[in-house]
Amino acid sequence: MKHFILPIVGLITLLATTASAHEGPDPLARWRFDSDAISQQGDQTKILPRRGPTGMLSGKFEMLGEKYDETLFLNGNQSAIVIAENHNDANKYLPTEALTVSAVVSISQPEQWGGLIGVIEDNGSQESGWLVGYDEKTFTFALRGKEGTGRLTYLKGKTAYEAGKLYHVVAVYDGETMQLYVNGQLEAESKEQSGPIQYPAKTPFMIGAYRDSDEFQSLKGRLREIVLYDLAAKKEWVDHDFEHNASLAALPAMESNDPLEFVIEPYLQFGTQSSMTVMWRTNRKALGTLYYGETAECPNRIDIPEGKEIHEITIEGLEPETQYFYRTESRLKPDADPLTSKPATFQTAVNRDTPFAFAVISDTQGNPAVSGKLAQFAWGQRPSFLLHPGDLVEVGPRDSHWTQHFFPSMNPLIRHVPFFPVLGNHEQNAQHFYDYVSLPTPEYFYQFRFGNAHFFMIDSNRNLDPDSEQYQWLEKHLSASDATWKFVCHHHPPYSSDENDYGNLWKTNKGTRGDQNARQLVPLYEKYHVDIVWNGHIHSYERTWPIRENRAVKENAPIYMITGGGGGPLETPGPIRPFFMNTVRHGHHYSMVRINDMKLEFQAYDLDNRLFDQMTISKQPAAAHE
């Protein structure tokens, strides 16, 4: 085991370049992220070290503060510092037997997997390397030793970081014990790992990013200093080091000085006959104002006096089935020039006896080119709202998947009509879902009325057995509903002919042909006369016959529809035709549902906006379940 103690001298003294000038060892590398470290050469920006390797800076950045307080701010949008694309090219700067990292940093955007410095691979049996990073609330330290558990151990701190505020973070590994300190305090410790550090075969050496073979999550926050040693520090050294950085940790939070911009342009949420919610996000905390009215001048206004990045304003007291205009303004200060959105329109929910239509698009995940095209086509048909059966994004905890994939691609539609989503498995119940939608509590399940239809929105990632919260809630409200049309939406399909999600039908004839958790709700659908159940999860299109008691019937029973072709990688049905299948199709698509009193028309369209399936349901007054 290698340990070192600096009894008097902290990291600031290590600015000296000769061993005789200080007590204690030299670091492998040290970066002080001030203006002197920035070297612009053509279109390349280099980070010059005080000691060790030069880094290549990509993406947007800015310098904040002055002199001793100066820091480098990375904006989180693919901005990062590459020390080596292949860590093997920088081996002499990487610790092996022991490690100490001392960092002074701030976090402005929480992430599930955030990185400050490290070399890491986090994929199954290949887990290896080390990383000092952060998650949605605290700082973290991950490492794998050659004689450890065969996987990474993650330490999680206790201090909940405040956005924009500097913290002193130290990670230590001595070959037997991992330790994580925040502002001088030991917050996590583990003896799961031992031996030299196990490095990946080939992974980048990064600062300001969590990056391995299939992930790249950039830091939005500040870097003040990072120092890397190949020795393990004792508690006394950490104490002295924090003493030299305590004044920085005591400074107030500081955020970017970038010009105010939209991260997410305005969009609509949970429209009713008398209200509509408008949401948007700015890159900095700002004062929000919503203008609205029945003309493009938008004579009415609502102000939010508190500065926020995610803005949410609900307009109350509107008239049913009425067209309104709206636009937003955001200001850093009350007298500052505003960031203004373009005027857009919306319509409040219609009266019970008025015809209406809505679009259905699911599994938009990770393919904005496709989902954006489908959104444009759907908007061309002027739906009243969008129903989304889940998997809005590929990885829910990654904010960039919301801000760079889902919202930009869907904006042509959702700036004019509200969208009503449910959670898919890819959302991973991430906080971003709850931050970016405005739905009735608890948001993971809810209901809404539109015209003569009643919609019940369920989270099929949770338990759905008869004793579960959602099952009992659903039975209560289904039994009380007097709607002409009853619809249910959840991500996982009770019936599916997919080739391998519910048993590999190319290798065996045994399979559940649908999600067994979700199928527990089927008796409720049959008992309370649900008309259609919309699902996603399977990236194809499928419509069943009406199904009652696990048999196909001609009418007056629930129809199950998988509309998972919104952008995700396409899937294929199995080799046989199950009893419930009416129509199945491989391809990206969207659907339109049109309702006029007791008549429902359904149509599905492909990526070229060509009709490929349709059906009509007509009810008689006695069958309307009024």
Locate CATH 3.60.21.10 in the chain. 356-623
State pLDDT tens for residues 166-183: 999 999 999 999 999 999
User: Strand order in 153-156's β-sheet?
Assistant: 38-41, 44-47, 55-58, 80-84, 205-207, 114-121, 128-134, 139-143, 153-156
| Residue 325 C-beta-side C-alpha neighbours within 13 Å | 11
> Mean pLDDT in the chain?
92
The whole-model pTM stands at 0.81
CA-CA distance, 562 to 471, in Å (whole number)?
21
CA-CA distance, 29 to 50, in Å (whole number)?
8
CA-CA distance, 331 to 307, in Å (whole number)?
9
> Phi and psi of 414, rounded to 5°?
-80, -5
166 close to 224: Cβ distance less than 8 angstroms: yes
Q: Find out if CATH 3.20.10.10 is the number for domain 356-623.
A: no
Q: Which residue has the tokens 């299939």?
A: 214
Q: Is the pLDDT of residue 394 over 90?
A: yes
Is residue 327 very low, low, confident or very high in pLDDT (cuts 50, 70, 90)?
very high
Locate CATH 2.60.40.10 in the chain. 262-347
Evaluated on CA atoms 261, 265, 270, 273, the torsion sign reads positive
CA-CA distance, 591 to 586, in Å (whole number)?
14
Amino acid letter, residue 625: H
Q: Is the pLDDT of residue 576 over 60?
A: yes
| Distances in whole angstroms, Cα of residue 30 to Cα of each of 26, 50, 170, 189 | 9, 5, 14, 25
Question: What single string gives the DSSP state of each residue in 187-212?
Answer: EEEE-S--SSB---SS--EEESEEE-
Locate CATH 2.60.120.200 in the chain. 29-249
Pairing mode of beta strands 356-360, 386-388: parallel
- 3-state DSSP assignment of residue 215: coil
Q: Where are the alpha helices (DSSP H) in 298-418?
A: 368-380, 399-400, 407-414
Angle, vertex CA 11, rays to CA 7 and CA 14, nearest 5? 95
Closest by Cα among 62, 13, 4 to 34: 62
| Distances in whole angstroms, Cα of residue 536 to Cα of each of 72, 388, 391 | 43, 9, 8
State pLDDT tens for residues 16-48: 232 223 345 789 999 999 999 999 988 899 999
Question: For the domain 262-347, what is the CATH code?
Answer: 2.60.40.10
586 close to 564: Cβ distance less than 8 angstroms: no
What dihedral angle (degrees, nearest 10) is formed by the CA atoms of 241, 246, 247, 248?
80
CA-CA distance, 38 to 44, in Å (whole number)?
10
pLDDT at 19: 29
SS3 of the chain: helix, strand, coil, percent, to 5: 15, 40, 45
Give the chain's length: 626
Top-confidence residue, 508 or 28 = 28
Q: Kindly report whether the peptide bond that precedes residue 493 is cis, defined as omega within 30 degrees of 0.
A: no
Angle between the N-to-C axes of helices 368-380 and 407-414, in degrees from 0 to 180, rounded to the nearest 10: 0
CA-CA distance, 128 to 122, in Å (whole number)?
7
CA-CA distance, 120 to 100, in Å (whole number)?
16
Q: Find out if CATH 2.60.120.200 is the number for domain 29-249.
A: yes
> Phi and psi of 154, rounded to 5°?
-105, 120
State pLDDT tens for residues 347-377: 999 999 999 999 999 999 989 999 999 999 9
Evaluated on CA atoms 193, 195, 198, 204, the torsion sign reads positive
- 3-state DSSP assignment of residue 286: strand
Evaluated on CA atoms 346, 351, 356, 359, the torsion sign reads positive
Pairing mode of beta strands 323-331, 276-293: antiparallel
State pLDDT tens for residues 399-451: 889 999 999 999 999 999 999 999 999 999 999 999 999 999 999 999 999 99
pLDDT at 24: 55
527 close to 548: Cβ distance less than 8 angstroms: no
Q: Which residue has the tokens 């970038």?
A: 258
Evaluated on CA atoms 53, 212, 197, 177, the torsion sign reads positive
State pLDDT tens for residues 182-226: 999 999 999 999 999 999 999 999 999 999 888 888 999 999 999
Tokens describing residue 385: 């709202």
pLDDT at 502: 79
For residue 231, the surrounding DSSP H or E stretch is none
Q: Give 432-445 as a 3 state SS string.
A: HHHHHCCCCCCCCC
Tokens describing residue 36: 């002197």
